[in-house]
Chains A and B, each alone.
Chain A
Amino acid sequence: MNAGQQTTRRVAARAGQSICRSCRNTPRTYATAAAAAPTPEHALGQHIPPVAHSSPSPSYAVNAGVLLSRPPQITRDLHPFEAAFFLYQKRLNERLALPFTRYFYFKARTPADREWKRKMAQRLTPARDIGRYKGYGEEAWNDEVLVGAKESELQWQVDRLLEDAETTGAEEDSGVAAAAANAAKDEREAFERPPGRETEADRTNDTRSLARALQRTLYLLVKNKEGRWEFPQDRLRDENLHGAAQRIITASGGPNMNTWLVGHVPIGHFQHTYSAPITTSTGLSEQGSKTFFLKARIMAGQANLKDNKLGLQDFKWLHKDELKSAVDGDYWRQIKNMLAER
């Protein structure tokens, strides 16, 4: 590409948008780039916009807010497609993996070995959570589950693992072998069943409880003096933001919360404009307020508004979807991007 073409292209580009984008944005070759006038050095240097304005700007009250959250406690529910895909991959692995080395794990002619053989005869595969499927042989192609099958569901898989731990595989048999197996069953160590993924608070919809919506991040939402739901916040005094955040946590939720302030920088802000400017004691007229939110995590304990110093009336632990309907539209618009999706 020579200089003449470049000039033409530039003229044409100035004339209108009639050149296609790929032609217009072609990177220039080194030769033409060198020929172009060098950018002045001061343009590349540091440019920090001036902070002080000569004209009086509208002033805002500065508030500190706390986004106190409880992180997810358990894994999320899988989408049915994900669950089906994972089951498919597990069955594929049964077909492709080397056979299970039985005698490395079970000595021949021991009770454990007999139990293994009984269970293998029932489920046909070493894996305990993929259902009845045989990865080798003539019919290994039959790896798809039928309509309405439960094999891909997490709860079904957990139940099979528990069943494997508490049964001997000889329950339906009769005779000496079954009697011996059932005698050995009593000597097994007892284990605890895992608690459910839904809690009592979920069923009763107790939004004050922290043991609810275990798969989601919960945020502390409080009802302020005016009866509006928002995150705990207070006016900034002679202190820095994270000092104010610590104060607000104690002043609103009481001392019975083990919290951790994540970082010392705000993760979002909310700007509110008053209907009429307010004149403060120092003579400034405030147009509105700006609230800067700091992130905190609750590790243990629970909020208690009994003698809070901010005049709060009520509190809730809500996740993002519930927050949307609980707060004002303008508030939601400004805070939604600092909340975790899950």
Chain B
Amino acid sequence: MALRELPYRTATALCRDARPTVSAIQPLFRRNASTDAAPEVESTSFLDAPAKPEEAVKDFDPIARSRARRRGKKQLPPSRYQYREPKYYRGPLHPHQPLPVSDPASRRFQPGPFGLPRLDQTYQSTIAQDILAMTYQHYPPGYRAPKVEQRLREWQGESPYYKGRPLRGPRGKGEVLRLLQEPRTFRNIPKITKVVVHSMVPEAMQDSANMHVAGMILQAITNVRVESHKAKHNVVGWGLREGRYVSVTATLEREDASHFLEKLIDVVLPRIKEWKGVPGSSGDGHGNISFGLTPDQLALFPEIEVNYDAYPPKMIPGCHITIITDATSNKDARLLTQAIGLPFYGKLND
């Protein structure tokens, strides 16, 4: 196909320079349908829409209008004509399909966002650029980073099954492949992606009320539904039995995470007596920072304090808070968490 077209294409390409200049000027004089329509398009925003007459605005009452319209008339039964989302997903071929999550009529719809959290605004206006300035590493123009060789191990041996088998992880028990440290650019400034609040209540194996109280408290302070977890193994020393519910977690994202951190940093932590800070040994090397709060400290959250009497005092649990960032090292994660106002103490874990 292309071979057959070649002579014509080559000819047009070579002749293009010899074409009269009229063709170059042509676009200037060309008129499209949109040229006339362009001035007709309104450039106004919703703010400066034409004002309604004064009395029409003053007298407008949607409830009264609706009642007047319905007076004396029977409305159609609503349930028969409204679309209800199916409770269960029955596969792509089923005629009754669920709505998209963004539709308010969907069962999975979550309203929000409800505001622009202060922490997010501070991050965008101050923290991100400061971290960029602090961690920027200059390379001369023309520098090319050395190529990262294969970090996983080959399968060595005679076995024919080694061919095409996925590569082996690093040597050693519990070793994982460390994250690559990319050079810092404006695209990979570390940010907080999630916050996980976790509370383990082994007493729940004897009395499930502990579990309920822990769940209520976590929901009250985080504003998200908690998830409960079973013990994975029998641990005789801790009295853990496999398969029993022992802990609750709340995973916070976006607005919830920002509001929780604001509350924690500005209200709760300053009120703790002799709080030293987050232990410097915290951090898993992949950008996650964790620290714990005791039951006394957890009771300082304003949501708990407002009706502290509603919770059985013996059952208030402690919790662990993990701040999950997309930093690739402890150092960067610490820089970010320090910037939002968490102090560290002791020997730092690098």
Contact = CB atoms under 8 A, between A and B. Distances in A.
B52 A104 contact: no
A82 B133 contact: no
A5 B10 CA distance: 15
Contacts of A12: 2, 5-6, 9-10, 13
Interface in A1-19: 4-5, 8-9, 11-12, 15-19
Given A262-B130, A263-B134, A265-B138, A8 B47 contact: no
Nearest to B10: A15
Contact of B307 (A19, A80, A104, A146): A104
A82 B126 CA distance: 22
B60 A146 contact: yes
Interface in B88-121: 104, 109, 111-116, 118, 121
Contacts of A4: 3
Given A12-B10, A46-B146, A93 B111 contact: yes
Contacts of A62: none
B129 A75 contact: no
A333 B23 CA distance: 39
Interface string B43-60: 000110000100001001
A142 interface: yes
A92 interface: yes
A34 interface: no
A32 interface: no
A123 interface: no
A49 interface: yes
A18 B140 contact: no
B6 A8 contact: yes
A336 B122 CA distance: 21
B310 A96 contact: no
A190 interface: no
A295 interface: yes
B125 interface: yes
B274 to A, nearest CB: 25
Interface string A69-110: 001100110101110001001101100100000001100000
A271 to B, nearest CB: 17
A96 B106 CA distance: 11
B62 A142 contact: yes
A154 B136 CA distance: 38
A148 B3 CA distance: 69
Given A15-B10, A342-B125, A263 B2 contact: no
Contacts of A11: 6, 10
B136 A263 contact: yes
A183 interface: no
B136 A15 contact: no
B234 interface: no
A93 B116 contact: no
Contacts of A90: 111, 114
Contacts of B165: none
A295 B132 CA distance: 11
Contacts of B109: 96
B39 interface: no
Interface string B1-28: 0110110011011101000000000000
Contact of A86 (B12, B13, B113): B113
Contact of A263 (B111, B133, B147): B133
Interface in B211-241: none
Contacts of B310: 104-105
A75 B6 contact: no
A29 B124 CA distance: 42
Interface centre among B13, B60, B141, B307 (most CB of A within 10 A): B13
Contacts of A92: 104, 111
Contacts of B138: 265
A139 B63 contact: yes
A147 interface: yes
Contacts of A63: none
Given A5-B3, A75-B121, 9 more contacts: A72-B121, A72-B125, A75-B116, A75-B118, A86-B116, A96-B104, A105-B310, A262-B133, A297-B130
Interface of A: 4-5, 8-9, 11-12, 15-19, 44-49, 71-72, 75-76, 78, 80-82, 86, 89-90, 92-93, 96, 104-105, 139, 142, 144, 146-148, 217, 262-263, 265, 267, 295, 297, 340, 342
30 contacts: A5-B2, A11-B10, A16-B13, A16-B14, A45-B144, A46-B143, A46-B144, A46-B146, A47-B143, A49-B140, A71-B122, A75-B118, A76-B116, A81-B46, A86-B115, A86-B116, A89-B111, A89-B112, A89-B113, A93-B111, A96-B104, A104-B310, A142-B62, A142-B63, A262-B134, A263-B130, A265-B133, A265-B138, A295-B130, A342-B125
- Which 4 pairs, one residue from A and one from B, show the smallest C-beta to C-beta distance? A16-B13, A263-B133, A15-B13, A93-B111
